[in-house]
Amino acid sequence: MPLNDDDRVFEKVRHLNLLAVGSTLGGIAEEINKKYEERKKLVTVKEIKEYFEQLPELQQQHRDLTMHVNIATQIKKETMKHDFRKTIETEQSKNKLAR
């Protein structure tokens, strides 16, 4: 799946530092959960109809969130590996020397 602004989750996390992505994804998960929970408060046929009209978009956001959580988890695993951390340390020390 291409990452672009059609993906509302990507739109919110695309420019964030990796450290901020987790809490942002958590906030998005809470928003989605609240929207799912609204179904318990529906009383009228009109409310039920409006909820089900919005359901496909909500389900897409849920799928997008799942994908981004999986991506963030994989990135976290890779960045915690010893070789990656060693490379970053080397690059950062070179940058300090170049200043």
Ordered structural domains, the chain, with CATH: 8-98 (3.90.830)
Q: pLDDT at position 1, please? A: 67
| Tens digit of each residue's pLDDT (9 = 90 or more) over 39-94 | 999 999 999 999 999 999 999 999 999 999 999 999 999 989 999 889 888 888 87
Is the pLDDT at 5 greater than 90? The verdict is no
CA proximity to 52, closest of 39, 66, 43: 39
Q: Give the tens place of pLDDT for each residue, 12-21.
A: 999 999 889 9
